[in-house]
Structure 1
Amino acid sequence: MIENLAAKLCSLLSENTNAAEQWKLLGQEKDGSILIGWVEESERNDICTLCTVVGRYDQIDNKLQILHRFSEILNIVQATVNQNHTLMGYVTKQKNCLKISDPLEDRSGHEFYGEFYRVFIVELTTDDTKVHDLEIKRSEQVRIQFLYREKEQLDVDKFLVLIHHECILTYTAQFDTSISHLRPIKELKSEILVKTFIWAQWDMINQVLYHIHHRRIPASVVTENEDENNSRSSKPTLSGLQFHDNLPHETVLNIPLNLPLLSPSSSCGTYEDDVIPLRVHDCSLDLIVVSDTKGMVCVCHYYLYRPVQPPQHVLNSLNESNTVHFAYSVTLLHHSCVIHCVIPGISWSRAKLMRPTFAIYENHHMIVFVPGLFAHLLEIGVNHEPCCHILCSPPPSIPSRVSYLVPLLDLDNPSKGTRRNSHNPDGKNSDGNSLLANNTNILTIDLPTLDLVQLTIPSDFLIEVFRKETSVEVRLGILHYFLCHKNDIEIIAELMSIIAEKPRSLDIPRFMQEILIGNSYALVQKNLLADTIPLLSLLPVTTIGDYMTFNIKMNDLEITLSHEKLWNTSVMLLSPQQRLVPYRSDLWTRLWDQLSKNGSDKLRFKPSHIAEKLLVSLACYQPEALSRCSTPMSPSGGFVAMPLGDFMGNRNIKLDSGLPFNETESCTASKQEHIVSVNLRELSMYLLKNGTHTSTIHTRGSCTPLHVHAMATRYVAAQLEASRILCQILCRTAGVDPRIEQERGFSLIDQLDEARRWLLFMLLQRYRYSIESIAFPAPQGFASFFTYLGYRTLKFSMFLQYIERSVFELQVDVTKIILADISDTKENVVQKLKLLSLLPRSRAKRLLNQWLHPISLMLRAREHAANILCGEISQSRTSSRTLQHRNHHNSLAAFPSADRLSPLDTFLDLLTAKASLTELDFGLLIEATVTSTEDFL
């Protein structure tokens, strides 16, 4: 249900008020209070009178305080109140009662036509509510704003007056403190703060004045022509003035801009008198600065353009068939980059009314909301580079009738001016209802209607977007959001089930890689030491590359999103040592820290580099050559993989019941340990090279090798944990839940129906490719489980192809059960021989000795004879089984002939000439010869 601010405030008015209408938003102050104006009807001596009233609404206390009741109706467009609520400034907008051709003229000699602005100050504590006319009458937009201080001052107040294209004035009001309860204004003086400016905005939270002005480019030292110097064009510059309690203001920011239509002559002259945020601008430049006290500063600019200028007669007949490009850019100063977004094909009649909302969401994203068109979640957080953005249609909770939403001050965020006290610790209204539910919601107000709208992106809505979305980038952004910002594995499991609905999709491995890398990063962040936090900037966080350009299709729109790098952003900012109070922490020192941290342009570690090295090392992999004590997964290696609960903290995780196979392997050292050891070595070297020589002013110092080793060990453990979690998710997605199934391992696969077995194989096949591509370790036992699953799922010819391509690994345990499962028919014997031929020699020989079949005797006899003929030393063959064969076949009598000579005799004579009798296994050779006469193939 949408709540209306005017209706809410009507219920707070006194009962003797007859009627209140024409509610208008006039401003918001640093303490979160909202200034509101309305027209009130009252009866005096049976005469109905109408007057304008200005009030102050306290959101936390849910109280409406009437600041001043005028004796007539005034068109007040903006108001402000000082910190002590003793002075109120307001701006009126009046129409010229003369003809347009006859201009009015104020005392300064300015002429203006049509509508004009005037500025007044009202003393709220004096008995006669004295009004001071600042004698400012301008056709250009005018604004007034009181300065707020950390410590209140009773004898003086300051406020700003902004006159578009003319100047910014600072006024000082001295009070007469001899009359303590009234404190009237004793003196009011002004001085020019800024001369001609194009655009300005007041940041009430940080007490910063942003303004754009033309700054002359310095003349070249080689130029001698003075006229040429004077004619040099000036550069539009965005500057920031930081105000302090008892110190003069200082210029903390100077950024050169490249914006169109910035000259005063090109101004359209049409003003929107919206007061949140407090800006002075016209329709030629719509720009908003959004900042956060933690060091985020975003310059947001939106505009309309045509890539090709049409003929004039087309411009003169703009209608529905004419389309323009709607575009916006968000300059992230803390990341030294610009995000550009272009949406072509917007009809002119619709585009000219579009006014996007820019608001910081959950401290790490920015919502760009265009009513009726789309919502864009831009990742702008300070933890890592902006890369995972989400584009979606407007959430269903936002009504379609809204036209322009502006965010109100977030009172539930302590960094944004929250007022907490012992009487009201929860920040709720007196009736128990809070306008702001939590920090995941942004309270906005629709300026034309004063409807209060919660601008939020629910998790259920994002899940539905993921289900319907075809763009890989948007889906990756949603996965990243729930992995690194929400830390919600249950939702990731739900999203994985959506992906599994199309198991043949070629994009599935990329989603799995995003889950593996993103979850590893999220696990590492748990309970980190403060000294190792700088190393997080070197760990991989997503599969999406930096500064990529990609197109996203949504409904009938094709949106282009691109990144652009800024250079030397730090030179545009005042350094901490240059401040009036050096190194005092505020928005600008935190921004400087962010620029210092991100300015080194160090790349994050890429797991693909390890994957390339493993292509070589695994080809000559010798498990027996790997020392178990050198890997962090070993019980004796000094580090054991941390349990899932230690990584997750207090998070409620249900994925803790294990895998559908036993995590054991019978190798001397498993392939998992080999991959883990390579990851540990490569990551340690990378962190040691890039993370131990950097330190900023506010960090405790550079990281030591001990910190590097701790971080690298923690990360490789997180890799294995993330790999295990994803494997669990995939098995449950395929309907194989170890909590329900009675069996595990090979027996479980035998009990699965064909549909579940096929889906499980398809998912694990892509899982195996994903971990191989980014060099992540698989859980122990996975290789044999996956191989047997493939044996049960695929045709045998296809199964052999998978082995030849090294997709399946024939460990001893799985090979034994496959060979035992294949019967010894003539056709199956050929299959067994093909399977054995694909094994390593030592493993094949060991399994061949255990196969009680005639072909096994023949192969072993051939190998034995080949070793003798090649001169290799053979062990003595005196087993009981071979002696039994000798007695059964009566030695050489098995092949009688006229001269007692046979081909076997001749062959044995040849062997005895090469080796001693003790080295020959006569029983094996004779039995193999006899067996060869049988029909077993």
Structure 2
Amino acid sequence: MVSVANLASNLYSLLSDDNSQGTFSEQVSDWRLLGQERDGTFLFSWVQTKQETEVNCTHIGLYSYEKNELTRIYSFDRKVNCIQASVSSCRTILAFVVKTSAEDNTYTYNASLYKINDDAKNLYDLQLERSKQVMVQFLYPKQSILSENQPIKFLVFIHQECILQYQLKVSHDGLNQDSFTYESLVRTFMWAQWDPLQQTLYYIHNRKRGRCLVEGEEENLEETGTKISPTLSGLQFNDELPHETVLNIPLNLPHLSSLHGSCFIYEDDTVPLRIHDCSLDLIVLTDSNGFLCICHHYLYQPIQPVVELNDEDTSPVHFAYSVTVLHQSCVVHCVIPDIPWNKAKQMRPLFMLNGDHLLVFIPGICTQILDIGLMHEPCCHITVKPIIRDVETHLLCLAPVVSTEKRYALNLATLDLINMDLPTSLLIETFKSDTLLENKLSILHYIILHTEDMDTVFELISWQAEKPFTLGIQQILKEYLIATSYASVQRNLPSDASKLISLLPITSLRIGSDIEVELDNNMICLSQDVLWNASMMLLSPQQRIVPYRSDIWVKLWDQLAKVSKGARRFKPSQVVEKLAVSLVCYQPEILSRSSTPMSPCGGASTAFNEFLNNQCGKKSQNESLPFFETDSCTASKQEHIISVNLRELNMHLLKQSTDNKMNRFQWQCQSPMHVHAVATRYITAQLDQSRQLCQILCKAGTYEPKWEHDKGFVYINQLPDERRFILFSILEKYYLTVESIAFPLPQGFTSFFTFLGYKTLNFDMFLQYVNRNVFELHVDVMKIIMADIDNSKTGVQNKLHLLTMLPRSRAKRLLNQWNHPISLMLRAREHSLNILSGVAGPPTGRVHGIQKNKSFRGLTAFPCSDELSPLDTFLDLLTAKATLTDIDFGLLIEATEASTNELL
């Protein structure tokens, strides 16, 4: 637990400093949080014992954490149970609620008003004494300064009865009955919450069910209009205009007791201000960017019939919650089975917005980070151990507090202010543990895109690379490539093309998949459902009192429109499918470099060429790869993959930005030039991140550029067998990952990887890799392999096998450089075949392959009974087909002489 401060200690020290009589010796106890206003100011009560009379008195004060100032605004003449308070924006009126107990163990709530700094202590009893929960709350206008004639408004909540809005005009005569007017805003309700930041009132009430809102549900005409269902409504309060209902959401609360079955046990939640009993634990979280989450926590018994449980019962129940992520039009469900009842009933989860995520803290169980931001669809949810581990469950009662800078929660049991930021060490610990693969991917996604802590990312990838045979390593490397490429484009994208980034791939995780994470013998199950037609629950912008006013509800409406009719993201599988066909016909010896986007003077864009030049500069300064980044063929496979990626991404962006009908204005500025700029930057990021990942994995595979002096094939030859096997295993996973999402490989990698496989695997296994197109036999790697294989019978057969697997032009080129009699024989046969086929060319006119034997006797070397050799007969046949200048007699004679030896 990261405790920022203990507010009780701070408040006590402030009371001591304000004492004018010297040493502060009065006893102070029972600190209690009464509320928090829109500006972040806390209201506290405490009990102070007077030294002279030893009488206990309750005091109410305003506390500013930012300024560390405590202002006492009211003192009772006795000890009272003040549970909640609110102060007007101009700091002139205090409203508070006192809860008293009767002899029959019942409670009574009563609300009063006090004019601050009134010497007569003019109290006004609102005469709302009830046995059900009562709360009060002042409205805060956007303008901090009110006119003299503008009334002060405040709300009075009476559970299951009504919500009243009072208007108060303060006169010099103080508070009296003539100062008030009020109206009833809400009739019977079962739950309510006040949002101080948005000045919105949320409440749940029963209303007649309208038409079906769930797609596929059959409508019963007999029940329509008669059956009631709980509905969450929202009232937006404006400064000088009437309030308006901006939200109506039908709720599915199967575990909610009926109105007559309420338990009437109140927790008296003041931050945030909620009015409810123990039958319904629900909280609404909002953000000015257009976030709205409805979080519902409940317990249920999975078996039937349901049995009554006492406080000490250890029968297992299911601890569950659901979060309606309205701005993403989905619902996230979480169930933790088999929690003992006596433990589950004490666990109060904390729901708190944390940037683009929703933090859910379940004491003693786990901490979850739900990815519910606007950047992309919710899918990368994280489950880790509890952030707070050193506090007993019953001593944790956390509430999110209003803060403009930090994400704090207040422990109402101890008044500890706790920083709820997720520590990186906890993410690393969870990633390195035996957790679910989806959990690891979500952690990696979170660090790359939301914390941008690349040092931690490199640490996690290096740690995972040390275990190349673990399941899921390819998926982890895939997530790294996709997420880092997106993050790179997001940082460097021009503002006028920012709309197109929502079309780029962002994660490898599948949206809406069920996840089961086991943590400390607890199975945590996450699932996700899609809402249908969620925009019907909102008031449209044109229906507002002030149409299209810029606030959370207009942003929420726009976000729902984007979600419901949004464009489709680009998928790497689109390129993989294209490459599966095009690579069959791929012949790098025939392609022209000017036809690829890698060409310095060909089809690449200016921005892409600048990137290549910069990359060349970077590589010259920091050669951190164990191979030379050059390709020996005319047009490499890397260029072909980049070309296909660029073409497919351009087409996808152009089609989605022109065919999208959800908002023409949103896409009208996205011209084809913007499309090409985004596509080029993304392909650039692909190449950069692929090279970066290769560096990380090579270092994890024991390559350290500071100490290694050799590179390429020489480096492989010098590696011990164990290190060579480790490096090959890691780079094999890297190669398979890159191929699965059609990312380009660094130049020079293909030949380096092929020779590494040749030196690591036995020859038969090596041939299988070649047959499956994993290893590519380019000229540079074939030269060293041909030189490395000896000229034994087995070695010659292996060389011939490799040559037969090459394209004809490449095999012929290598055959000409092979100084062996078999090479002579094969070239001679081909030469003869060409002559007999009528495609003979002029002889090469050079010494062929092997050195001539000094004892060579010419045609007499093959005598026969009629003094004519078979060679003479064959040469006569050739001369009948071609002129003497077209026949390479030296090659034919040397090959004939070599054929007399037993070579195979």
Instruction: Answer yes or no: is 1:924 the counterpart of 2:888.
Output: no
**In 2, Cα distance between the equivalents of 1:374 and 1:191?**
45
Shift of residue 574, structure 1, vs aligned partner: 1.6
**In 1, Cα distance between the equivalents of 2:306 and 2:390?**
39
Letter in 1 for 2:156: V
For residue 61 of structure 2, the aligned residue among 42, 55, 65 is: 55
User: Residues 819 and 850 of structure 2 are in contact (CA less than 8 Å); yes or no, is this contact kept in structure 1?
Assistant: no
Shift of residue 863, structure 1, vs aligned partner: 1.8
Letter in 2 for 1:118: N
**Percent same amino acid at aligned positions?**
50
Shift of residue 42, structure 1, vs aligned partner: 1.4
Question: Which moves more between the two structures, 5-14 or 617-626?
Answer: 617-626
Shift of residue 872, structure 1, vs aligned partner: 3.1
SS in structure 1 of the partner of residue 387 of structure 2: coil
SS in structure 2 of the partner of residue 47 of structure 1: coil
Instruction: Answer yes or no: is 1:486 the counterpart of 2:451.
Output: yes
For residue 837 of structure 1, the aligned residue among 781, 804, 812 is: 804
Shift of residue 283, structure 1, vs aligned partner: 1.3
Q: Extract unaligned runs of 5+ from structure 2.
A: 213-220
Q: Could you tell me which residue of structure 2 aligns to residue 246 of structure 1?
A: 240
For residue 86 of structure 2, the aligned residue among 53, 57, 80 is: 80
- How does 1:656-667 map onto structure 2 within 5 Å? 658-667=624-633
Q: Extract unaligned runs of 5+ from structure 1.
A: 101-113, 221-226, 413-438
Relative to the length of structure 1, the TM-score reads: 0.89
User: Residues 219 and 229 of structure 1 are in contact (CA less than 8 Å); yes or no, is this contact kept in structure 2?
Assistant: no
- How does 1:848-859 map onto structure 2 within 5 Å? 848-859=815-826
Letter in 1 for 2:795: N
SS in structure 2 of the partner of residue 526 of structure 1: helix
1:25-62 residue CA offsets vs partner (Å, 9 max, x unmatched): 1111111111110111113xx42221100011101110
Instruction: Provide closer, same or farther for how the CA distance between residues 718 and 656 of structure 1 changes in structure 2, counting only shifts above 3 A.
Output: farther
For residue 174 of structure 1, the aligned residue among 150, 169, 174 is: 169
Instruction: Answer yes or no: is 1:4 the counterpart of 2:6.
Output: yes
**In 1, Cα distance between the equivalents of 2:812 and 2:211?**
85
Question: Which moves more between the two structures, 656-665 or 724-733?
Answer: 656-665
Instruction: Answer yes or no: is 1:790 the counterpart of 2:757.
Output: yes
**In 2, Cα distance between the equivalents of 1:697 and 1:893?**
89
- How does 1:281-430 map onto structure 2 within 5 Å? 281-310=276-305, 312=307, 315=308, 321-361=314-354, 363-395=355-387, 399-400=391-392, 402-412=395-405
Instruction: Answer yes or no: is 1:503 the counterpart of 2:498.
Output: no
Shift of residue 332, structure 1, vs aligned partner: 0.8
User: Residues 267 and 284 of structure 1 are in contact (CA less than 8 Å); yes or no, is this contact kept in structure 2?
Assistant: yes
Shift of residue 793, structure 1, vs aligned partner: 1.7
1:170-208 residue CA offsets vs partner (Å, 9 max, x unmatched): 0101123x79xx999961111101111111111111111
Q: Could you tell me which residue of structure 2 aligns to residue 195 of structure 1?
A: 187
SS in structure 2 of the partner of residue 735 of structure 1: coil
Q: Could you tell me which residue of structure 2 aligns to residue 117 of structure 1?
A: 109
- How does 1:131-142 map onto structure 2 within 5 Å? 131-142=123-134
SS in structure 1 of the partner of residue 55 of structure 2: strand
Shift of residue 753, structure 1, vs aligned partner: 2.9
Shift of residue 865, structure 1, vs aligned partner: 2.2
SS in structure 1 of the partner of residue 377 of structure 2: coil
Superposition RMSD in Å? 2.8
Letter in 2 for 1:548: S
Q: Could you tell me which residue of structure 2 aligns to residue 569 of structure 1?
A: 534
Instruction: Provide closer, same or farther for how the CA distance between residues 379 and 733 of structure 1 changes in structure 2, counting only shifts above 3 A.
Output: same
User: Residues 734 and 759 of structure 1 are in contact (CA less than 8 Å); yes or no, is this contact kept in structure 2?
Assistant: yes
Shift of residue 301, structure 1, vs aligned partner: 0.7
User: Residues 531 and 700 of structure 1 are in contact (CA less than 8 Å); yes or no, is this contact kept in structure 2?
Assistant: no
Instruction: Provide closer, same or farther for how the CA distance between residues 149 and 563 of structure 1 changes in structure 2, counting only shifts above 3 A.
Output: same
Instruction: Provide closer, same or farther for how the CA distance between residues 9 and 720 of structure 1 changes in structure 2, counting only shifts above 3 A.
Output: same
Q: Could you tell me which residue of structure 2 aligns to residue 670 of structure 1?
A: 636
Instruction: Provide closer, same or farther for how the CA distance between residues 580 and 603 of structure 1 changes in structure 2, counting only shifts above 3 A.
Output: same
- How does 1:516-595 map onto structure 2 within 5 Å? 516-595=481-560
User: Residues 292 and 326 of structure 2 are in contact (CA less than 8 Å); yes or no, is this contact kept in structure 1?
Assistant: yes
Instruction: Provide closer, same or farther for how the CA distance between residues 655 and 466 of structure 1 changes in structure 2, counting only shifts above 3 A.
Output: farther
Q: Could you tell me which residue of structure 2 aligns to residue 204 of structure 1?
A: 196
**In 2, Cα distance between the equivalents of 1:908 and 1:595?**
85
Instruction: Answer yes or no: is 1:765 the counterpart of 2:765.
Output: no
Letter in 2 for 1:139: S
**In 1, Cα distance between the equivalents of 2:634 and 2:283?**
63
Shift of residue 826, structure 1, vs aligned partner: 3.1
SS in structure 1 of the partner of residue 900 of structure 2: coil
Instruction: Answer yes or no: is 1:31 the counterpart of 2:23.
Output: no
Shift of residue 728, structure 1, vs aligned partner: 0.8
User: Residues 170 and 190 of structure 1 are in contact (CA less than 8 Å); yes or no, is this contact kept in structure 2?
Assistant: yes
1:267-323 residue CA offsets vs partner (Å, 9 max, x unmatched): 1211111211110111111111111111111111111112321464xx457865521
User: Residues 600 and 609 of structure 2 are in contact (CA less than 8 Å); yes or no, is this contact kept in structure 1?
Assistant: no
**In 1, Cα distance between the equivalents of 2:667 and 2:504?**
20
Letter in 2 for 1:738: P
Question: Which moves more between the two structures, 261-270 or 119-128?
Answer: 261-270
For residue 708 of structure 1, the aligned residue among 669, 675, 686 is: 675
**In 2, Cα distance between the equivalents of 1:60 and 1:144?**
25
Question: Which moves more between the two structures, 510-519 or 914-923?
Answer: 914-923
User: Residues 605 and 686 of structure 1 are in contact (CA less than 8 Å); yes or no, is this contact kept in structure 2?
Assistant: yes
**In 2, Cα distance between the equivalents of 1:231 and 1:719?**
57
User: Residues 364 and 389 of structure 2 are in contact (CA less than 8 Å); yes or no, is this contact kept in structure 1?
Assistant: no
**In 1, Cα distance between the equivalents of 2:77 and 2:310?**
47
Letter in 1 for 2:399: V
**In 1, Cα distance between the equivalents of 2:614 and 2:536?**
40
1:592-619 residue CA offsets vs partner (Å, 9 max, x unmatched): 2211222214331110121121011001
Instruction: Provide closer, same or farther for how the CA distance between residues 48 and 819 of structure 1 changes in structure 2, counting only shifts above 3 A.
Output: same
**In 2, Cα distance between the equivalents of 1:21 and 1:698?**
60
1:894-916 residue CA offsets vs partner (Å, 9 max, x unmatched): 21223112332333333334333
Instruction: Provide closer, same or farther for how the CA distance between residues 806 and 864 of structure 1 changes in structure 2, counting only shifts above 3 A.
Output: same
**In 1, Cα distance between the equivalents of 2:178 and 2:716?**
90
For residue 719 of structure 2, the aligned residue among 752, 756, 779 is: 752
Letter in 2 for 1:688: L
Q: Could you tell me which residue of structure 2 aligns to residue 40 of structure 1?
A: 48
Q: Could you tell me which residue of structure 2 aligns to residue 146 of structure 1?
A: 138
Instruction: Provide closer, same or farther for how the CA distance between residues 157 and 346 of structure 1 changes in structure 2, counting only shifts above 3 A.
Output: same
For residue 910 of structure 1, the aligned residue among 877, 887, 895 is: 877
SS in structure 2 of the partner of residue 334 of structure 1: helix
**In 2, Cα distance between the equivalents of 1:25 and 1:368?**
22
Shift of residue 148, structure 1, vs aligned partner: 0.6
> How many residues are paired up?
878
Shift of residue 819, structure 1, vs aligned partner: 1.3
**In 2, Cα distance between the equivalents of 1:717 and 1:623?**
22
1:236-271 residue CA offsets vs partner (Å, 9 max, x unmatched): 211111111111111111111111325311212111
Instruction: Provide closer, same or farther for how the CA distance between residues 882 and 453 of structure 1 changes in structure 2, counting only shifts above 3 A.
Output: closer
Instruction: Provide closer, same or farther for how the CA distance between residues 871 and 396 of structure 1 changes in structure 2, counting only shifts above 3 A.
Output: farther
Shift of residue 751, structure 1, vs aligned partner: 2.8
**In 2, Cα distance between the equivalents of 1:647 and 1:481?**
29
1:481-528 residue CA offsets vs partner (Å, 9 max, x unmatched): 111112222211110122123211231111111001011100110132
Letter in 2 for 1:798: M
**In 2, Cα distance between the equivalents of 1:449 and 1:525?**
43
Instruction: Provide closer, same or farther for how the CA distance between residues 235 and 310 of structure 1 changes in structure 2, counting only shifts above 3 A.
Output: closer
Question: Which moves more between the two structures, 565-574 or 826-835?
Answer: 826-835
Instruction: Provide closer, same or farther for how the CA distance between residues 400 and 290 of structure 1 changes in structure 2, counting only shifts above 3 A.
Output: same
Q: Could you tell me which residue of structure 2 aligns to residue 434 of structure 1?
A: none
Instruction: Provide closer, same or farther for how the CA distance between residues 657 and 908 of structure 1 changes in structure 2, counting only shifts above 3 A.
Output: closer
User: Residues 549 and 561 of structure 1 are in contact (CA less than 8 Å); yes or no, is this contact kept in structure 2?
Assistant: yes
Instruction: Provide closer, same or farther for how the CA distance between residues 600 and 657 of structure 1 changes in structure 2, counting only shifts above 3 A.
Output: farther
Instruction: Answer yes or no: is 1:66 the counterpart of 2:52.
Output: no
User: Residues 479 and 507 of structure 2 are in contact (CA less than 8 Å); yes or no, is this contact kept in structure 1?
Assistant: yes
SS in structure 2 of the partner of residue 192 of structure 1: strand
Instruction: Provide closer, same or farther for how the CA distance between residues 192 and 921 of structure 1 changes in structure 2, counting only shifts above 3 A.
Output: same
